[in-house]
Amino acid sequence: MRILGYKLSATAQIGVVIVLINVLVAVLAPLIAPFDQATPVGDAWADPDAQHWLGLDNVGRDILSRLIYGARMSIGLSLVITVLSFLIGVISGFAAAVAGGWIDQLLSRLVDLLLSMPTLIFAFVILSVLGSALPVLIVTIAVLDSTKVFRLARSVAINIVSLEFVEAARLRGEGWWWIVTREVLPNAIPPLTAEFGLRFCFTFLFIAALSFLGLGVQPPDADWGSMVKDYRDMINFGSAAPLYPAAAIAILTIGVNFVVDWMLSIHSRGQGEGA
Amino acid sequence: MSQATQDASRSEDNSIILDIRGMRVAVRTDSGEGPVLVDDVSLQLRRGEVIGLIGESGAGKSTIGLASMGYTRRDCFIVGGNIIFGDTDIRAISMDERRALRGPKIAYIAQSAAASFNPAHTLMEQVCEASVRHGVLSRAEARAEAISLFKQLDLPSPETIGSRYPHQVSGGQLQRVMAAMAMVAKPDILIFDEPTTALDVTTQVECLAAFRKLIRGHGTAALYITHDLAVVAQIADRIMVLRRGKMVEFGDSRQILQQPKEEYTRRLVTERVAGHSFVDANGAGEVPILAIEHVSANYPGKPKVIDDVSLDVRKGDTVAVVGESGSGKSTLARVVTGLLPRVAGDVRFNGLSLPPRLNERSKDQLRRVQMIYQMPDVALNPQHTLLETIGRPVAFYFNRSRAEVRARAIELLRQMDLPESFITRKTSDLSGGQKQRVSIARALAAEPDLIICDEVTSALDQLVGEEILRLLKKLQEDLGVAYLFITHDLGTVKRIANKVAVMLKGKVVASGDTATVFSPPYHPYTELLLSSVPEMRPDWLDGVLASRATGAAMTAALLRAP
């Protein structure tokens, strides 16, 4: 299998398959889920049977259906948050690198300020004060995440800005928008793509953690982190219920990482040729 | 056997120490053997003999150097032939055994000493480390040997220089310390890979002389890899000319220089010799295009890099600014372009003062001064196509339609002797020489009055560089554009510049018509620079050293002058 003209490694192939399956499930959730995610369909903690392959949960909802809808919520949410954090982080990071001077200082110190506080605690405070509505959740995590994107984007851009083709553009009299979008961005795509995959994983795990602690996705919407939280006690009674969402989290994380590792390896190989 | 060394003072034993026969090195690909980098090369290196390997980039000379130790670059492998060191078949032994040879038996001296030293340790530690680690010498013996080598290499204060750190000595000194590091374990073979390429001409002379003294004194065999035929002629007994992985010609140094048999070798020799004619002063016009008047500049918080520099460039002029690294010649270019604001003096363009800062200049002022860079690899955005690269200045300065931009870009490509079909290619797909042509096209697209050329040929192979110079010359004749040509290569200056300014430590020490500046009576620094340019005759270095011996005090005083 090949992507973008590069041969996929064995692990990358596994990763691509995992990611594709997850995305398909998320997109097609209402079509493939056998039951509704929020409606009880039987007794609490009913054992798996032919109709309910993974059994029912604490209020009698179908666990498989919740897992399928959970994919939609967890992946969709992570994707929206990661995209937003990249928009904020990349634009401000590039601006800092290209403009330099006090703009760079201002943005960098602001980011230092945000980074100096533990992310989870900070998110706690915001979400406790403002509530866990989805828009609040999205913006909070995206802003916190964008600080890390900012750091990477800024350092990548600083390396590119020091190259002579950027100097040539400056000498021509180009404005900063041209320099950012036409000179810097195309050359920053490979490291940023790899970072995007990684940040997606972190975001995904972070939402799971917040949900587990009760500050993330709110009931009755299903997401994998809150499912682990809701089902966790059942492990004491020999039920595998909490393991399904936990396994889903683990598998998707591993799959995305496989793909990211492969992207990083082609990126570094590309650099090796230049040296 | 006829090629045995004639020098009687060398080691009596002139048996073959390295015997390479029919060696082939290829790139490793998924399906096995890929492109061949070195094809069927054979050479026999005798004890005490120096063989020069010469060729352009991609000729395979460094690959041969590495392969003679049993190494290759990543993703390459030795696919055929024999490499016999002494009685050992290098291809037959393990990587660990090869590693054991490297250092005590075969030592390697790389182009960039700065990249080969660890900045966190003193020079002495690093010079002694390998031979102590290999158990060849005790630490005390290694120290004594190192100090003796520092002396032989004419390093200043040989007793104490070892306690310094790499950043505390100059580039030329570091290169010599690296030679000492290689020699401490008394290897049988030294491999020099472009050891003086990154150095200034005056420093190169010192290093060459030191290397030669070292090799001759110890009777060590050596492979000397370089792209500069004149350099290798000073040090090698025999020269092998390589091209695209194949041997072109192999013979005695004198024969290669004086009676080259192959056409390719002849071109290498003559391109250098042909250069020694002065260009007529063709500058015209009353008001200079560019007038630099008593300009000084410095980086924030640092001392002045250029100090009271004055220079005129008229229409059709090629004014060369020459000097060694750190002389301020590139800073002068940055001041003219406005990247570094001047702190004193004035820069006038067509009689009108240019604002010191880039962002205070009008679009038209920016258009009229264009720049071509040393490294075409980083001067062009690798993600842009040729159309984007060349077309952008046309669209930006002249506000043309897409079709007009494209037509103009194609016209410029044609002027650069590049095929029209290249227009959709990315710049990263081109060779170094082609990239430099695209850089020129981009500069010309702005229809400038002046182009600043910053070391435009020094990153290119000799023959490719010659073509670029010819192209620049032709464009000047056709378009009347003026060049401010920044370079350290005096050969280039003589060929293309009608005026020259010699810079030393931020000041212009000599300037005027090239013929005047480069004819006696010289400024002493000009004379030093001129005499340091290697010439295509084997006795050149001896001559220089002999004349330097008399003028040494003067030279040293001059270089140390504030």
A184-238: pLDDT as tens digits: 999 998 889 888 888 988 898 888 888 888 888 887 888 888 888 888 888 888 7
- With 0-12 / 13-18 / 19 or more C-beta atoms within 10 angstroms meaning exposed / middle / buried, residue B22 is exposed
A187–B383 CB contact, under 8 Å: yes
Q: β-strand B88-89 against B106-109: which pairing, if any? A: unpaired
Please report residues of B whose CB lies closer than 8 A to that of A167: 339
Rounded CA-CA distance B405/B352 in Å is 30
- Binary contact (B382, A173; C-beta < 8 A): no
Q: Is the pLDDT at A172 greater than 90, yes or no?
A: yes
**The predicted structure's pLDDT at residue B349:** 92
- The tokens describing B118, both together, are 């660890």
Exposed/middle/buried for residue B255 (C-beta within 10 Å: 0-12, 13-18, 19+): middle
Strand partners, B507: B504
Long-range Cβ pairs for the range B504-507 (8 Å, 24+): B504/B323, B504/B324, B504/B327, B504/B561, B505/B326, B505/B327, B505/B328, B505/B561, B505/B562, B506/B304, B506/B305, B506/B306, B506/B307, B506/B309, B506/B327, B506/B328, B506/B331, B507/B306, B507/B307, B507/B308, B507/B309, B507/B328
What stretch of H or E contains B330?
helix B329-337
Cβ of A168 within 8 Å of Cβ of B375? The answer is no
- CA of A258, closest CA in chain B: separation in Å? 22
Q: Under an 8 A CB cutoff, do B370 and A164 touch?
A: no
Q: Which residue has the tokens 């002797």?
A: B417
Tell me the backbone φ, ψ of residue B78, rounded to 5 degrees: -80, 120
Residue with the two structure tokens 């150095």: B199
Q: Is A49 an interface residue toward B (CB < 8 Å)?
A: no
Say whether A173 and B383 touch across the interface (CB within 8 A). Answer: no
| Partners of A6 in beta bridges | A3
CB contact under 8 A, B339 and A165: no
Residues of B with CB below 8 A from A186's CB? 381, 383-384
pLDDT at position B519 is: 84
Closest CA to B227 of B20, B457, B36, B52: B52
Question: From the CA of B452, how many Å to the nearest CA of chain A?
Answer: 12
Please state, in angstroms and rounded to a whole number, the distance separating the CA atoms of residues B486 and B337.
14
Q: Is the minimum CB–CB distance between B366 and chain A shorter than 8 Å?
A: yes
Question: How much is the pLDDT for B293?
Answer: 93
> What percent of chain A shows pLDDT beyond 90?
36
* Contact present, A77 and A207 (Cβ < 8 Å): yes
pLDDT in tens, chain B (562 residues): 444 444 444 445 778 899 999 999 988 877 777 888 899 999 999 988 999 999 887 788 888 998 988 888 888 888 888 899 988 888 888 888 888 888 888 998 888 777 888 889 999 999 998 888 888 888 899 999 999 999 888 888 888 999 999 888 888 888 889 989 988 888 899 999 988 887 888 888 888 888 888 888 888 899 999 988 888 888 899 999 999 889 999 999 889 888 888 888 888 887 655 444 455 545 455 678 999 999 999 888 888 889 999 999 998 889 999 988 888 888 999 999 999 999 999 999 998 999 999 989 999 999 999 999 988 889 999 989 999 999 999 999 999 999 999 999 999 999 999 999 999 999 988 888 899 999 999 999 999 999 999 989 888 888 888 889 989 988 998 898 999 999 888 878 888 888 999 999 889 999 988 888 888 888 888 888 888 888 877 788 888 887 776 655 555 555 554 4
Q: Give backbone dihedrals phi and psi of B128, rounded to 5 degrees, phi first.
A: -85, -25
How does DSSP classify residue B416? T
Whether residues B378 and A174 touch (CB distance < 8 A) is answered with: no
Flag if B392 and A274 touch (Cβ within 8 Å). Answer: no
List all residues 6 or more positions away from B220 whose beta carbon is below 8 Å from its beta carbon.
B48, B183, B187, B188, B189, B190, B214
pLDDT of B558 reads 56
The model's pTM:
0.79
Distance CA(A125)–CA(B218), nearest Å, equals 75
Say yes or no to pLDDT of A2 above 80.
no
With an 8 Å Cβ cutoff, are A187 and B392 in contact?
no
Contacts of B307 (CB under 8 A, 6+ apart): B296, B328, B506, B507
Report residue B93: phi and psi, to 5°.
-100, 165
Tokens representing A84 are: 């937003």
CB contact under 8 A, B370 and A174: no
Indicate the residue of A165, A272, A274 with minimum beta-carbon distance to B381: A165
Check CB contact under 8 Å for A173 and B361: yes
State the pLDDT at residue B271. 65
Q: Is B29 on the interface with A (CB under 8 A)?
A: no
Collect all residues with Cβ–Cβ distance below 8 Å to B52 and sequence separation of at least 6. Answer: B223, B224, B225, B226, B232, B233, B235, B236, B238, B239, B240, B253
Chain-centroid distance of CA A182 in Å reads 27
Q: Any idea which of A66-70, A269-273, B217-221, B505-509 has the lowest mean pLDDT?
A: A269-273
Mean pLDDT of A12-36: 90
Q: What is the pLDDT of residue B551?
A: 57
Tell me if A103 sits within 8 A of A91, measured CB to CB: no
DSSP for B112-155, please give it: -HHHHS-TTS-HHHHHHHHHHHTTSS-HHHHHHHHHHHHHHTT-
Main-chain dihedrals φ then ψ at residue B412, nearest 5 degrees: -65, -40
pLDDT: is A160 or A131 the higher one? A160
Strands B450-454 and B344-349: unpaired
Interface test with B, best of A6, A159, A164, A174 (most B CBs within 10 A): A164
Chain B: residue nearest A162 by CA? Answer: B378
Nearest to A165 among B339, B367, B379 (CB): B379
Chain A, chain B: beta-carbon pairs less than 8 Å apart: 48
Q: CB–CB of A168 and B337 under 8 A?
A: no
Q: Which residues in chain B are contacts of A163 at CB distance < 8 A?
A: 378
Q: Do A173 and B366 touch (CB under 8 A)?
A: yes
- State the Cα–Cα distance between residues A179 and A185, nearest whole angstrom: 8
Nearest to A170 among B358, B369, B442 (CB): B358
**Phi and psi, residue B173, nearest 5°:** -65, -40
In this complex, the residue of A163, A172, A182 whose CB is nearest that of residue B378 is: A163
DSSP B453-475: EESTTTTS-HHHHHHHHHHHHHH
> Which 148-187 residues of chain A touch chain B by CB within 8 A?
163-165, 167-168, 170-174, 182-183, 186-187
Closest alpha carbon within chain A to B74: A272
B366 to A187: CB separation less than 8 angstroms, yes or no:
no
Q: Is A232 on the interface with B (CB under 8 A)?
A: no
Q: Kindly identify which residue of chain A lies nearest to residue B454, measuring between CA atoms.
A: A164
* Best B330, B339, B381 residue to mutate vs chain A (most A CBs within 10 Å): B381
Q: Which of A164, A182, A187 sits opposite B379 (nearest CB)?
A: A164
- Give the pLDDT score at B88: 86
